Amino acid sequence: MPQLIILGSASAVADAKHENTHLAFVNEKRLLLIDCPGNPVVRMQQVGYDMTHRLTDLLLTHFHPDHVSGYPLLLQTLWLLGRSEPLHIYGLDFTLHQARRLFNLYDWETWTDLFPLVYHNIPEEEMFMALDADDLRLYTSPTSHYLPTLGARVELLSGQYSVAYSCDTRPCPAVTRLAQGADILIHEATGAHTGHTSAAQAGEVAQQAGAKSLFLIHYPVWNNDPTPLVDEARTGFDGEVRLAEDYQVVNI
């Protein structure tokens, strides 16, 4: 059974109970990781997955530390665990350029037998199909954040089930279109700051998109109780609303 796994839910400042936002989709043949703060190998182990040979695809949404700072550690961990399979890495030109620069700081050419890294440059087009394999489809659309950023839509079960993820963005028509009719919209709820979205606004986006349910993510946690955000989001959305929580596993 395919699964959606929330690996972290915090906005840029994490705390003891909430890692920075990242998530994964798993089916029989593919494991797609979206963003890489901290150490997702450890987090996936916590929910019963060994990513060493299973991780197939990594989407880097944008080059902010709370989304990509764990990238070199991920590669080193998989390498030390004996991975040989290629890893497909997707992102905008700017994101992949910076990710390569970050990795280059570790002189990886000296790492013996590093598994192949296959970079896929994604154009700044709406609903670009970045991946279509083994009954997992990944579409991306540019969002409206401080720097070039991608939102994502993942379709499973022959397109019968869809999950959209806003990534970091202010309320943005491209995300509304990306989330059209989605079973789950995972939307950021950092607050009504420049380049971000409040919970109430996330509810409005979910309503406009006709999403069936809304998971709030990337919410402030440091000395802050996020539970009132659920009621805020409900002011604009008729469907089910919940907070995405670390280690939450959704069977699809």
Whichever of 111 and 146 has its CB closer to Zn ion, that residue is: 146
Bridge partner residues of 185 (DSSP): 164, 214
Whichever of 56 and 61 has its CB closer to Zn ion, that residue is: 61
Whichever of 22 and 64 has its CB closer to Zn ion, that residue is: 64
The count of residues interacting with Zn ion (CB under 5 A) is 2
Question: Residue 33 corresponds to which tokens in the numbers above?
Answer: 């990781």
Whichever of 136 and 186 has its CB closer to Zn ion, that residue is: 186
Nearest approach, Cβ of residue 181 and Zn ion (Å): 26
**211: closest CA among 241, 182, 175, 171?**
182
How far apart CA 167 and CA 217 sit, in angstroms, is 9
Whichever of 30 and 64 has its CB closer to Zn ion, that residue is: 64
Binding segment (CB under 5 A) for Zn ion, from list 64-72, 78-86, 100-108, 203-211: 64-72
Whichever of 7 and 136 has its CB closer to Zn ion, that residue is: 7
Whichever of 21 and 176 has its CB closer to Zn ion, that residue is: 21
How far apart CA 91 and CA 174 sit, in angstroms, is 17
Nearest approach, Cβ of residue 149 and Zn ion (Å): 7
Nearest approach, Cβ of residue 56 and Zn ion (Å): 25
Q: How many helices (H) and strands (E) does the chain have?
A: 8, 14
Q: Which residues contact 90 (CB under 8 A, 6 or more apart)?
A: 57, 58, 59, 60, 120, 122, 130, 131, 138, 140
Binding segment (CB under 5 A) for Zn ion, from list 20-28, 57-65, 73-81, 114-122: 57-65
Nearest approach, Cβ of residue 119 and Zn ion (Å): 21
Nearest approach, Cβ of residue 64 and Zn ion (Å): 4
Site for Zn ion in 148-207 (CB under 5 A): 168
Rounded to the nearest angstrom, the gap between the alpha carbon of residue 128 and the centroid of all alpha carbons in its chain is 16
Residue span 8-37 as binding mask against Zn ion, x where in contact by CB under 5 A, dash where not: ------------------------------
Binding segment (CB under 5 A) for Zn ion, from list 59-67, 77-85, 224-232, 243-251: 59-67
Q: Which residues contact 36 (CB under 8 A, 6 or more apart)?
A: 22, 58, 60, 67, 68, 69, 70, 71, 74
Question: Residue 149 corresponds to which tokens in the numbers above?
Answer: 């950023």
- Taking CB under 5 A as the criterion, the residue among 30, 43, 64, 88 binding Zn ion is 64
Nearest approach, Cβ of residue 175 and Zn ion (Å): 14
Which parts of 81-227 fold into alpha helices (H)? Answer: 93-104, 173-178, 199-209
Residue 89: φ, ψ to 5°: -120, 125
Nearest approach, Cβ of residue 133 and Zn ion (Å): 28
How far apart CA 161 and CA 231 sit, in angstroms, is 26
Please give the residue ranges that form the binding site for Zn ion (CB under 5 A): 64, 168
